[in-house]
């Protein structure tokens, strides 16, 4: 099974992605984690991506496509993927689509984690205190939420139109969210 997990910053993509991948035996591919690894390792990609990440902007499409797509294709040929944080725009989805089609790596289902704005901000600020992510400061968070609204949210209609979308009420504790996702996927708990 190939699953996309989309949602605003703070919706719980990382937490749910990890749990679901483990529960379903899928490769967990997290776009933000891959980028942060490149930044930590100070690769050419990491050096280019850092300024975008620190501002809360999306890194250029070519950068993220090169990083994510080979892993997606490899995972789809194996046990399937749980992809979180990609795509983050309709153009990214369109770019990925023809390659994924050719490689038999298209998503089977798209989960949208729905959380109200004030709860997102609360979660991100709590995470900032715990993890010290460089992009969890107030100015960058505002920009990330604005980019979500403008650039990422149109994916909801894009995937609804293709009949792949499942909206998950993610304004609940993590166990309840995992449970709702598993039942949406028709997986016995």
**Could you list the residues that contact ligand AMP (CB under 6 A)?**
9, 31-32, 35, 52-53, 56-59, 64, 85-88, 92, 135, 144
Quick one: 35 or 82, whose CB is closer to ligand AMP? 35
Q: Which of 153, 155, 152 shows the shortest CA–CA distance to 57? A: 152
For residues 12 and 32, which CB has a smaller minimum distance to ligand AMP in the complex? 32
Least Å distance between CB 187 and ligand AMP?
Answer: 24
19 is catalytic: no
In angstroms, the CA 35 to CA 134 distance is 13
Catalytic status, residue 123? no
CB of 185 to ligand AMP, least distance (A): 21
Our CB check for ligand AMP shows the closer of 55 and 166 to be 55
Residue nearest to ligand AMP (CB): 32
Main-chain dihedrals φ then ψ at residue 167, nearest 5 degrees:
-90, 125
**Does the CA dihedral 10-152-101-74 come out positive or negative?**
negative
Whether 127 is a known active-site residue: answer yes
Q: Which residues pair with 82 in a beta bridge?
A: 3, 28
13 assigned to active site: yes
By residue count, the chain amounts to 189
Please answer whether residues 151 and 91 qualify as being in contact, where contact means their C-beta atoms are separated by less than 8 angstroms: no
Give the SS3 label for residue 172.
coil
Q: Which is nearer to ligand AMP, 35 or 115 (CB)?
A: 35
Question: Which H or E run contains 152?
Answer: none
Q: How far is the CB of 94 from ligand AMP (least distance, A)?
A: 13
- Point out the residues that are catalytic: 13, 88, 127, 133, 144
């Amino acid at each position: 099974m190939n699953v996309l997990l989309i949602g605003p910053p703070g919706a719980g993509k990382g937490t749910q992605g990890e749990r679901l991948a483990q529960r379903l035996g899928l490769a967990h591919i997290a776009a933000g984690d891959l980028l942060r690894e490149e930044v930590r390792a100070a690769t050419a990609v990491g050096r280019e991506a850092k300024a975008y990440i620190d501002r809360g902007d999306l890194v250029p499409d070519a950068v993220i496509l090169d990083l994510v797509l080979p892993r997606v294709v490899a995972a789809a040929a194996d046990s399937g993927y749980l992809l979180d944080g990609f795509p983050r725009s309709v153009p990214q989805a369109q770019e990925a689509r023809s390659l994924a089609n050719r490689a038999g790596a298209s998503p089977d289902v798209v989960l949208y984690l729905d959380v109200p704005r004030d709860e997102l901000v609360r979660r991100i600020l709590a995470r900032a205190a715990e993890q010290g992510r460089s992009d969890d400061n107030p100015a960058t968070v505002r920009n990330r939420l604005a980019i979500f609204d403008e650039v990422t949210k149109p994916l909801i209609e894009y995937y609804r139109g293709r009949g792949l979308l499942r909206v998950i009420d993610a304004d609940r504790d993590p166990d309840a969210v995992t449970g709702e996702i598993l039942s949406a996927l028709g997986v016995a708990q």
